[in-house]
């Protein structure tokens, strides 16, 4: 790590900071991801190189974006948070308009030209975190109020969630809504407002699912995978078989068979299953451990946040990574009903990789910017900021 | 846990929630990877493993001279994989139709149907389960190899065939009951096809490999290839010429008498080898499905008849063999009642009135009372033992199976009249093959052999892998008794009931037989089983021949053995003498010594 320009503590060349741990974990995930992606896409249309190159290009873009975010001044950027959120909302609306949004398999999620496509909701998630953190930090002394502390931010979150839901993208909508609620919860919104509204949102969500036969079938078949292995739960069943085929040691990189027309989306949402088959239990556990490490390191890191805005921003970024990972892992291992959600750093897919670049960039940024508190001063400094 | 802007409790709650989720994922992974692994692997194996069976060619069935009786012809089932078809090949479809001799519209329709099904499947590929993709559309059932080569030369991608074999019987109906048939599923149902299946079937080969989710073979994962091992060829003892002779004769008999069934058997007494065996009605194994159930029966082994007078060789042979009588011993065959074991027994009727008859005459003229007295002379138990020794009431161990044992009750179950009736071949039932082999034992110096039908087994390269030696079952009579009985039996033909069958110079020994048929438990006098069983030349027998006709319809007369079967016997014997080039035998003086001297 380079020392930050505004370092309070003397520059140390070799130091293990939480952010550096996160960076190492992310690098490890990317390395594993690229290797498995090459194998998982070997039988996909276009061949493995096409996916590898595409992924490498987006990795480059993500690194660039992350580097830029890491160098920027977050407090300066904060001024643009409403603008960002506005653009994101606009994009979310645009994507719903026929002929502008690109439809794939019945969902209108992409904006783009030619082969370059971006999944709008990925960036909307960041914009939401950004703007929500900004708002909650601005209003931190009034968060116990009903309107300021609950109605407005909840509506803001709800707006994003509903627009994403309309694509339709139930998974991302749930993630976005859930993340918003967690941030509200952490910022100190009152539970007596929060809990009923979560209940209402979940009820509404359930009703929507029940009224969509396709989603409903996914849920019912998820509940009995083996019985539905021929129809509704085919994909999940093939994923489960992939893990079994892998065993503890795996069959070896490049030796997996489930990508051979058995497992749909083997290189994107279900890539973890291919990882499980080719590399086995130790590597799947390693991936989980890496995400846990990122999360724990993130928690340690966020303790040093200088203000509520940055605290919520970094926590939000961290949760975006980890919740998405949890949902993907849960889906692929058959603990959650199937929904399209890519595995951070590993699944093929440019938009998500780009988003991850931005998220990591933000964490690096804060690591550079935040003063390294002196051990003796730490307690006081924290009580100061927490008030 | 954490100190920051959020309350510690809230932060702790969120953090532990996230960590718990990760923990659950890790736990679940352990289950999937390790604990549930074995159960799940079965599905993996099933989904991935592919066994491509390469059919073995079924062995050929040949007659003793190498004529093909049953063989397997290879052909190709032609079809197409609709997903592989290319638009640029479509102009060639009409050429394909021409080669297959099908209307072009039909070929186009078949291929298109497959294509639409497949395209539909691809359109809904989002739900892989619904995508039952059509990978095979059959175009035609049977294509010759030469036509298939030309179809392949057209180079239409996706059109290909699967090789298989079809069983054909080039000689049609010839020896149908011996050969049996193989049904459409390839299961051998009867005859040699069934009982020699072990030799004939060969061993299918296979290619063990893996397939992908679309059931395409992944050749890089081929783990084992086992070539098919073609079946062995079976050479039967049957001679197609003999078989033709007797089947032609059966046709004549059928045309003349339209019997219920008729059986003709020819064998070599010295080895037990069956040279020809045929029944009427018969069937063509190529079209077995058009045959009636009656036609499918091998009557020679699966139907029983009362042997009638042919059975008198048992009583006469047994009495001579034990030295109880000589050919000259006289019996009063005019008696109607005889006291046996303290009871008066009514003797059966004779066809013509007899007075005092010698044993030789009893045989020659087929005296029922004479036969009864011969049996009484030795008693039930001895008589029964000889009948068993002749092979009655037990399996002949016919190699092709499907036999019934016939009926021969032990003396304990006999009633008072059985001792008078069984010697004339009543109150007993036997298969034509049993009767034939009983006579064959007389021809073979008293040794009863097992019927032989398999000459040898050859592997697919033609090398002999197994031969079958004659198998002796029992020594029924002393060789001298057998020779003596053979001489007595020649008198049946020269001066007795079987005169019709006489072939001058060839010493035909034989016995006629006629029994009234049992219908609903009663003997009826207008339906008969007519038989003539004999061998020649009597002094050094080469062939045994039986003609048994069940329920011949003889206009204005009775279907006696001498009327129905003896002429057929003679007709066949004449042809066989010519075919086997059997030399005439001059009556030899020593035989008369034997005749006069009796059994030693």
Q: What is the mean pLDDT of chain A?
A: 84
pLDDT at position B597, please?
45
Nearest Cβ partner for B6 among A186, A262, A307: A186
The Cα–Cα gap between A154 and A136 comes to 11
**Token pair of A27 as six digits:** 């690098």
Transcribe B192-238 into DSSP letters.
Answer: HHHHTHHHHS-B-EEEEEEE-TT--EEGGG--EEE--BPPPEEEES-
Mean pLDDT of A276-285: 93
Task: Flag whether residue B19 sits within 8 Å of chain A, measured between CB atoms.
Answer: yes
CB contact under 8 Å between A311 and B6, yes or no, is yes
pTM for this prediction: 0.64
Distance from CA of A288 to the nearest CA of B (A): 7
Q: What domains can be seen in chain B, in order of their start residue?
A: 42-75+162-236 (3.90.1310.10), 100-121+141-151 (no CATH), 240-283+297-579 (3.40.710.10)
Which chain A residue has the Cα nearest residue B214? Answer: A261
pLDDT in tens, B67-94: 999 999 888 888 888 777 777 888 888 8
Tokens of B597: 């001297």
- Of A239, A94, A88, nearest to A176 (Cα)? A88
Q: How far is CA B60 from CA A64, B166, B188, in A?
A: 77, 12, 13
DSSP state of B343: E
For an interface test with A, the pick among B25, B124, B217 (most A C-beta atoms closer than 10 Å) comes out as B25
Minimal Cβ distance to A292: which of B22, B40, B216: B22
Query: How close does chain A come to B36, measured CA to CA in Å?
Result: 7
pLDDT at B372: 93
CB–CB of A260 and B11 under 8 A? no
| CA gap A34, A11 in Å, rounded | 35
- According to DSSP, the β-strands at B205-211 and B217-218 are antiparallel
| DSSP for residue B533 | E
Instruction: Tell me the shortest Cα–Cα distance from A262 to chain B, in angstroms.
Output: 4
Nearest to B4 among A105, A305, A330 (CB): A305
The verdict on B10 touching A (C-beta cutoff 8 Å) is yes
Mean pLDDT of B34-42: 87
Residue B439: name the closest of B559, B317, B355, B558 by CA.
Answer: B317
Is B42's Cβ below 8 Å from some Cβ in A?
Answer: no
Rounded to 5 degrees, what angle do the CA atoms B449, B455, B458 make? 150
ipTM given for this complex: 0.89
pLDDT band, very low/low/confident/very high, at A40 (cuts 50, 70, 90): confident
Residues from chain A contacting residue B39 (CB–CB below 8 Å)? 244
Give the residue on B whose Cα is nearest the Cα of A294: B19
pLDDT of residue A252: 87
Cβ–Cβ < 8 Å for A18, A298: yes
Rg (CA), chain B: 36
Q: Where are the domains of chain A?
A: 18-369
Given this model, what pLDDT does residue A4 score? 47
- Is A232 within 8 Å of B1 when comparing Cβ atoms? no
Q: Is residue B448 packed enough to be buried (19+ CB in 10 Å), middle (13-18) or exposed (0-12)?
A: buried
- The angle at the Cα of B330, spanning B328 to B332, to the nearest 5 degrees, equals 160
User: What's the rounded Cα separation, in Å, for the pair B496 and B562?
Assistant: 10
**Residues B443-480 pLDDT 10s:** 999 999 999 999 999 998 889 999 999 999 999 999 99
Average pLDDT over residues A61-86: 90
Say yes or no for a CB contact (<8 Å) between A303 and B2: yes
Mean pLDDT of B486-514: 90
User: Which chain B residues contact residue A329 at CB under 8 A?
Assistant: 22, 25
Which among A188-197, A243-252, A314-323 has the top mean pLDDT?
A: A314-323
Cα A117 from chain centroid? 18
pLDDT at B126 exceeding the cut of 50: no
CB contact under 8 A, A333 and B32: yes
Note the maximum CA span of chain B: 138
Task: Flag whether residue B128 sits within 8 Å of chain A, measured between CB atoms.
Answer: yes
Q: Which residues of B touch A183 (CB under 8 A)?
A: none
Closest-CA distance of chain A to residue B86, Å: 19
- The pLDDT tens digits for B552-593 are 888 776 778 888 999 999 999 999 999 999 988 765 544 554
Mean local confidence (pLDDT), B420-431 = 92
- The model's pLDDT over A157-213, given as tens digits with 9 standing for 90+, comes to 999 999 998 888 888 898 999 999 999 998 888 888 888 888 888 888 888 888 877
Q: Indicate the residue of A245, A262, A311 with minimum beta-carbon distance to B212.
A: A262
Beta-carbon separation of B37 and A291 below 8 A: no
A-to-B residue pairs, Cβ atoms closer than 8 angstroms: 147
A387 — pLDDT class (breaks 50, 70, 90): very low
Shortest distance between the Cα of A209 and any Cα of chain B, in A, equals: 18
| Mean pLDDT, rounded, of chain B | 87
- The Cα B133–Cα B91 span in angstroms is 25
Which DSSP category does B430 fall into? B
Res A9: pLDDT:
52
Where does the pLDDT of residue A258 fall: very low under 50, low under 70, confident under 90, or very high at 90 and above? confident
| β B61-62/B233-236 pair status | parallel
For A319-333, what is the mean pLDDT? Answer: 93
Compare CB distances from A285 to B1, B10, B29 and report the shortest one's residue.
B29
CA dist., res. A45 & res. A259, Å (int) = 11
Whether residue B210 and residue A335 make contact (CB cut-off 8 A), yes or no, is no
pLDDT digits (tens, 9 = 90+) for B265-301: 999 999 999 999 999 999 999 999 899 988 999 999 9
Q: Is the dihedral of CA B61, B267, B368, B254 positive or negative?
A: positive
């Amino acid at each position: 790590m380079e020392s930050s320009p505004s370092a309070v503590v003397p520059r140390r060349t070799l130091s293990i900071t939480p952010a550096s741990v996160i960076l190492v974990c992310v690098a490890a995930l990317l390395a594993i991801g690229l290797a498995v992606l090459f194998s998982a896409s070997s039988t996909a249309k276009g061949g493995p190189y096409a996916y590898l190159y595409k992924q490498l290009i987006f990795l480059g873009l993500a690194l660039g974006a992350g580097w830029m975010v890491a160098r920027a001044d977050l407090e300066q950027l904060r001024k643009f948070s409403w603008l960002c959120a506005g653009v994101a909302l606009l994009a979310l609306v645009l994507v719903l308009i026929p002929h502008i949004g690109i439809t794939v398999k019945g969902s209108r999620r992409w904006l783009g030209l030619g082969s370059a496509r971006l999944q709008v909701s990925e960036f909307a998630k960041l914009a939401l975190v950004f703007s929500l953190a900004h708002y909650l930090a601005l209003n931190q002394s009034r968060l116990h109020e009903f309107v300021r502390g609950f109605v407005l931010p909840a509506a803001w979150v709800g707006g994003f969630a509903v627009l994403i839901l309309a694509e339709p993208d139930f998974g991302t909508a749930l993630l976005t809504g859930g993340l918003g609620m967690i941030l509200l919860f952490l910022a100190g919104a009152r539970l007596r407002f929060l809990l009923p509204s979560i209940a209402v949102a979940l009820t509404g969500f359930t009703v929507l699912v029940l009224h969509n036969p396709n989603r409903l079938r996914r849920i019912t078949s998820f509940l009995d995978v083996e019985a539905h292995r021929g129809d509704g739960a085919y994909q999940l069943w093939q994923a489960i078989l992939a893990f079994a085929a892998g065993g503890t040691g795996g069959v070896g990189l490049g030796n997996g068979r489930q990508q051979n027309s058995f497992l749909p989306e083997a290189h994107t949402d279900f890539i973890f299953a291919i990882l499980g088959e080719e590399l086995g239990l130790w590597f799947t556990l390693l991936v989980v451990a890496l995400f846990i490490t990122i999360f724990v390191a993130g928690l340690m890191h966020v303790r040093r946040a200088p203000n509520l805005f940055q605290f919520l921003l970094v926590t939000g970024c961290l949760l975006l990574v980890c919740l998405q990972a949890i949902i993907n892992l849960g889906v692929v291992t058959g603990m959650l009903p199937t929904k399209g959600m890519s595995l951070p750093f590993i699944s093929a897919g440019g938009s998500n990789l780009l988003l991850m670049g931005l998220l990591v960039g933000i964490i690096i940024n804060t690591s550079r910017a935040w003063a390294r508190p002196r051990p003796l001063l730490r307690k006081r400094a924290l009580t100061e900021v927490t008030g | 846990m954490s100190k920051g802007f959020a309350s510690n409790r809230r932060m702790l709650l969120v953090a532990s929630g996230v960590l718990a989720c990760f923990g659950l994922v890790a736990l679940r992974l352990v289950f999937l990877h390790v604990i549930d692994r074995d159960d799940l692997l079965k599905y993996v194996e099933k989904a991935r493993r592919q066994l491509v069976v390469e059919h073995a060619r079924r062995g050929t069935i040949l007659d003793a001279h190498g004529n093909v009786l049953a063989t397997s012809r290879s052909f190709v089932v032609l079809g197409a994989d609709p997903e592989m078809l290319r638009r640029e090949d479509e102009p060639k479809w009409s050429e394909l139709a021409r080669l297959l001799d099908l209307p072009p519209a039909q070929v186009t329709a078949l291929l298109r149907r497959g294509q639409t099904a497949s395209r539909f499947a691809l359109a809904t590929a989002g739900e892989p389960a619904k995508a039952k993709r059509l990978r095979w559309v059959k175009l035609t059932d049977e294509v010759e190899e030469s036509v298939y080569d030309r179809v392949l030369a057209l180079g239409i991608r996706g059109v290909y065939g699967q090789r298989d074999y079809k069983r054909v019987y080039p000689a049609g109906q010839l020896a149908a009951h011996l050969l049996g048939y193989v049904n459409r599923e390839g299961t051998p149902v009867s005859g040699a096809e069934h009982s020699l299946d072990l030799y004939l079937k060969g061993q299918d080969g296979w290619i063990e490999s893996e397939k992908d989710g679309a059931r395409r073979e992944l050749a890089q994962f081929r783990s084992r290839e086992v070539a098919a091992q073609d079946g062995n060829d079976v050479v039967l003892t049957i001679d197609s010429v003999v078989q033709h002779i007797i089947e032609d004769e059966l046709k004549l008999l059928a045309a003349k008498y339209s019997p219920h069934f008729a059986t003709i058997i020819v064998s070599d007494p010295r080895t037990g080898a069956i040279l020809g065996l045929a029944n009427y009605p018969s069937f063509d194994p190529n079209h077995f499905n058009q045959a009636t159930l009656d036609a499918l029966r091998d009557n020679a082994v699966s139907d029983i008849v009362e042997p009638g007078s042919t059975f008198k060789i048992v009583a006469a042979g047994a009495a001579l063999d034990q030295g109880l009588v000589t050919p000259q011993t006289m019996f009063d065959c005019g008696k109607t009642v005889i006291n046996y074991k303290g009871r008066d027994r009514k003797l059966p009727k004779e066809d013509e009135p007899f007075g005092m008859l010698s044993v030789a005459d009893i045989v020659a003229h087929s005296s029922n009372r004479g036969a009864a007295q011969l049996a009484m002379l030795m008693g039930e138990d001895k008589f029964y033992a000889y009948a068993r020794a002749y092979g009655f009431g037990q399996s002949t161990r016919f190699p092709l199976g499907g036999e019934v044992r016939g009926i021969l009750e032990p003396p304990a179950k006999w009633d008072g009249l059985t001792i008078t009736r069984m010697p004339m071949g009543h109150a007993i039932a036997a298969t034509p093959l049993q009767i034939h082999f009983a006579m064959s034992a007389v021809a073979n110096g008293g040794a009863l052999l097992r019927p032989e039908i398999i000459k040898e087994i050859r592997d697919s390269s033609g090398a002999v892998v197994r031969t079958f030696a004659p198998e002796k079952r029992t020594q029924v009579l002393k060789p001298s008794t057998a020779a003596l009985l053979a001489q007595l039996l020649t008198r049946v033909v020269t001066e007795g009931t079987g005169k019709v069958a006489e072939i001058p110079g060839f010493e035909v020994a034989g016995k006629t037989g006629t029994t009234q048929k049992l219908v609903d438990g009663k003997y009826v006098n207008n339906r008969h089983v007519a038989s003539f069983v004999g061998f020649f030349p009597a002094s050094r027998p080469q062939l045994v021949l039986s003609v048994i006709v069940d329920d011949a319809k003889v206009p204005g007369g009775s279907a006696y053995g001498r009327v129905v079967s003896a002429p057929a016997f003679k007709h066949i014997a004449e042809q066989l003498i010519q075919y086997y080039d059997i030399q005439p035998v001059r009556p030899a003086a020593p035989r008369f010594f034997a005749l006069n001297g009796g059994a030693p």
